[in-house]
Amino acid sequence: MTHPSDDSGPAEAAPAATANKSPDGSGQMKPEAGRRKSLLRILLAVVVTAVFGFLFLRFAPLDLMVASLASASPEMLASSFCLVVLGQLFRGWRIAVLVSPRAAPSFIAYRISVLHNFLASLLPARLGELALPAMLKRSYGIDYAVGAGILLGARILDLLIILSVAGITFWIVVPAGSELGWLRGLGLLGGFCAIAAFLAMQYLRRGSAHLADRLALRTRSKKGGRLMLLIIKILRACAAIPARRLFLAQVSSLAVWLALFAAYHVAALAVTASMPVDTTLFAGTLGSIAFVLPINGIAQVGPFEAAWTFGGILGGLSTADALAVAVAIHGVTFVGGALQAGFVLLVKLLSPLRSGAA
């Protein structure tokens, strides 16, 4: 691993080009096939956003939602924005923990985290996820497969936290006698299983090494061998994370979601002062799960609002208030990500000028 440089940016081109190689193993690029696939994903995202937009316009009480948003507290929304920034700082710390032996926070790690998170929230079909391995390659000299392993490890930590909170708050929010009451026990069990898996990440890390070895022994034929080798490299990259750095990654992941859930709740309180914490947590986890779906809208618009509104209604909110809170949270998080992305890019652009002046 080389020392980090100050030359990073949302450069997905290299891994995307690798993904577009011919399946016959000749290594010949097929850019037209890659462009068609990307265009199809964009068109699908446009369709998803349009469908949800039509449903909102057709069935949602938009006049009441707009009234709720118009009366939202600007001070509370500003506080929610600050918490979003704090959560992004913790994401940057997690990147530094996973890539650096010193596990020390740095502006480069923060910039990579900001750009990756913003692109993931902006581009359809999770295309923005490709930015993280590419930027880690440019800034830290990390192999793409190792970068994909870092991405996988971070997303697994996020998912386990989300599922644990979702399962426990589902048991709290949904009444026992409701139509979904029979699922409360399963939700609680799933939440505790997610907590157990999160606590057992050290052992799961070792298990990924054994799984990689077993897959390597079974990889015999050339057909599909390239993909299998990539999976093996990703698993070994996850297994190679030292125990101390994995523990710090767990701590930083908890800090990320503590800040984000706090941002969600403060934004919800800006819209409706009667927002229970458990409803915010439950609806927030549903929105986060919808956010990571491979099929999503432009800038993730549509499924996030629908999932958040559904969770808010289950928690006792009116449809108008639940939808208004969902829009407010999505707006604060997206604007927060966009402003931070603009800030880190501006700093990068000004860095050569400051160096030349010195």
The whole-number average pLDDT for the span 148-173 is 91
Query: Which burial class, exposed, middle or buried, applies to 199 when counting CB atoms under 10 A from its CB (0-12, 13-18, 19+)?
Result: exposed
Q: What's the pLDDT tens digit per position in 226-238?
A: 667 777 777 777 7
pLDDT tier, 353 (very low <50, low <70, confident <90, very high otherwise): low
The whole-number average pLDDT for the span 199-219 is 77
Q: At what angle do helices 319-357 and 62-70 cross, to 10 degrees?
A: 50
pLDDT of residue 103: 56
* Cα four-point dihedral sign 258, 261, 267, 270: negative
Query: Which burial class, exposed, middle or buried, applies to 143 when counting CB atoms under 10 A from its CB (0-12, 13-18, 19+)?
Result: middle
Average pLDDT value for the chain? 80
Would you state the structure tokens that stand for residue 2, as one six-digit string?
Answer: 């080389």
| Residue 24, pLDDT above cutoff 50 | no
**Least confident range of 4-18, 51-65, 336-350:** 4-18
The whole-number average pLDDT for the span 196-219 is 79
The whole-number average pLDDT for the span 311-317 is 87
The whole-number average pLDDT for the span 149-166 is 91
pLDDT tier, 22 (very low <50, low <70, confident <90, very high otherwise): very low
pLDDT of residue 321: 86
Helices H / strands E in the chain, number of each: 14, 0
**Least confident range of 58-62, 147-151, 159-163, 244-248:** 58-62
The percent of residues in the chain predicted with pLDDT above 90, rounded, is: 32
Dist. CA 121–CA 107, nearest whole Å: 21
Higher pLDDT, 317 or 221: 317
The percent of residues in the chain predicted with pLDDT above 70, rounded, is: 82
**Least confident range of 132-146, 148-162, 219-233, 257-271:** 219-233
- Model pTM greater than 0.75? yes
The whole-number average pLDDT for the span 58-70 is 77
pLDDT tier, 342 (very low <50, low <70, confident <90, very high otherwise): very high
pLDDT of residue 82: 96
Q: By C-alpha distance, which of 13, 221, 249 is closest to 109?
A: 249
pLDDT of residue 184: 87
| CA angle centred on 279, ends 273 and 285, rounded to 5° | 125
The whole-number average pLDDT for the span 45-58 is 75
pLDDT tier, 101 (very low <50, low <70, confident <90, very high otherwise): low
| Residue 357, pLDDT above cutoff 60 | no
Would you state the structure tokens that stand for residue 217, as one six-digit string?
Answer: 């022994």
Higher pLDDT, 259 or 212: 259
Q: By C-alpha distance, which of 340, 343, 357 is closest to 118?
A: 340
| Residue 167, pLDDT above cutoff 90 | yes
**Least confident range of 164-168, 286-290, 353-357:** 353-357
Phi-psi category of residue 156: left, alpha or beta, with phi > 0 → left and psi -120 to 50 → alpha? alpha
**Least confident range of 63-77, 135-149, 221-235, 336-350:** 221-235
The whole-number average pLDDT for the span 79-96 is 94
| CA angle centred on 43, ends 309 and 296, rounded to 5° | 30
| CA angle centred on 313, ends 274 and 49, rounded to 5° | 115
The whole-number average pLDDT for the span 186-199 is 92
The whole-number average pLDDT for the span 232-257 is 85
